[in-house]
Structure 1
Amino acid sequence: MKTLTLLRHAKSGWDDPVTRDFDRPLNDKGRKAARVMGRQLRTLGEEFDRILASPARRVVETIAEVAVGYEAPIEPAWDKRLYLASAATLLEIAREAPDDCNRLLMIGHNPGLEDFALLLAGDGTPELMSALDEKYPTATLAQITFDVDRWADVVRGGGTLTRFIRPRDLDPTLGPDDH
């Protein structure tokens, strides 16, 4: 059994005058959402054998804030391929995980992360599948399990969506802005 957890970076600030998208920081709401998700990971007792993350600033800051809520350091392997990666690239990266890794966490960006979750999740409760199909907001976590022994055997539609947790599910103030 393999468990893949996908975490989208928290909400970033578009009003910061950075030159490159790669350097965009989190905003206050994003920092709060990441801490809330970290607390939820701790509450659920989640642990990971391997963590892969995009090196973009908003992902680095998301991980730092998740670690505050988790109350433990989170030390990913930084992988530039995760920056704005497509679902196909994310699948290639996941399939490279060593077989002794049973719980993999990947932290990255949309639209690739959402497309990747949709690509893999062939099963799950109607509520979870509907929520995933609707939208994959910032700082949201999806967890998909696979009845395989090797990551190389993960296939499209071969997973079961076991969790889909949005920050607003844990704290209503972290829901969409009313505009």
Structure 2
Amino acid sequence: MRRLILFRHAEAVHSSRYRDHERPLTDAGRKDAARAGARLADSALSIDLVLVSDSQRTRETWDLAGAALKEAPEARLEKKLYEAERRDLMNLAREQPDSVKTLILVGHNPSIAEFGVHFAGRGEREALKRLGKGFPTSAIAVFELDGVEWRKLRWGDGDLVHFWA
């Protein structure tokens, strides 16, 4: 069973002092990122690979969230995630080797939200309903992929089993 996890970065400062790419997390964002990491840790999901946008806010989000995990998965900065569209996220997922069973994409809206809505072919009813209302900062969507290889992923293949927001 493969899993694809979408993780939107935590709340970042809105200030003209920073270029968009360099915006750090707010104090609330740092707390939310740590809570999201605790949620991942409590889920006891085994994570093989994390692809993180190279923006400051996504790097900080993963650093704080990942610190809550007992075992640190391999994490890589992925420049393509910064200005990605939903099809770019699909292409990144399709590029993963069969050895990766659980993949996390740490990125930005609107691509994370759009991907989630189009990828969720079925799932837990309340989770689908919440996902349809938006993908707030620090939210995490967990999809199971029953018998689907990464390279053969299509829209609607995901079974949304959790949406933590």
In the alignment, the residues of structure 2 paired with residue 77 and residue 127 of structure 1 have an alpha-carbon distance, to the nearest angstrom, of 32
In the alignment, the residues of structure 2 paired with residue 163 and residue 126 of structure 1 have an alpha-carbon distance, to the nearest angstrom, of 10
Taking a change above 3 Å as real, the CA distance of residues 74 and 34 of structure 1, as seen in their structure-2 partners, is: farther
Taking a change above 3 Å as real, the CA distance of residues 149 and 159 of structure 1, as seen in their structure-2 partners, is: closer
2:52 aligned partner: 53
In the alignment, the residues of structure 2 paired with residue 70 and residue 60 of structure 1 have an alpha-carbon distance, to the nearest angstrom, of 16
1:170 aligned partner: none
In the alignment, the residues of structure 1 paired with residue 47 and residue 99 of structure 2 have an alpha-carbon distance, to the nearest angstrom, of 12
Q: Normalising by the residue count of structure 1, what TM-score does the alignment of the two structures yield?
A: 0.87
Query: Can you list the C-alpha shifts for 1:8-34, whole angstroms capped at 9, x where unaligned?
Result: 00000113611x210010000100000
1:93 aligned partner: 92
Letter in 2 for 1:3: R
Pairwise CA distance, 1:73: 4.1
Q: Report the aligned-residue RMSD.
A: 1.4
Identical pairs, percent: 33
**SS at 1:70 equivalent:** coil
Taking a change above 3 Å as real, the CA distance of residues 26 and 72 of structure 1, as seen in their structure-2 partners, is: farther
Letter in 2 for 1:57: Q
Letter in 2 for 1:115: E
Is 1:24 paired with 2:23?
Answer: yes
Q: Please, which moves more after superposition, 146-155 or 63-72?
A: 63-72
Once the two structures are superposed, the pairs formed by residues 64-143 of structure 1 within 5 Å of their partners are: 64-70=63-69, 73=72, 75-143=74-142
Pairwise CA distance, 1:69: 3.1
Segments of 4+ in structure 1 off by > 2 A? Answer: 67-75
Equivalences, count: 165
Pairwise CA distance, 1:75: 4.4
Q: Normalising by the residue count of structure 2, what TM-score does the alignment of the two structures yield?
A: 0.94
1:147 aligned partner: 146
Pairwise CA distance, 1:72: 5.1
In the alignment, the residues of structure 1 paired with residue 26 and residue 73 of structure 2 have an alpha-carbon distance, to the nearest angstrom, of 20
Q: Please, which moves more after superposition, 64-73 or 83-92?
A: 64-73
In the alignment, the residues of structure 1 paired with residue 60 and residue 3 of structure 2 have an alpha-carbon distance, to the nearest angstrom, of 24
Say whether the 8 Å CA contact 1:9–1:109 is kept in structure 2: yes
Say whether the 8 Å CA contact 1:84–1:108 is kept in structure 2: no
Say whether the 8 Å CA contact 1:82–1:90 is kept in structure 2: yes
Q: Please, which moves more after superposition, 62-71 or 100-109?
A: 62-71
Mind listing any 5+ residue stretches in structure 1 that lack a counterpart?
167-179
Pairwise CA distance, 1:147: 1.7
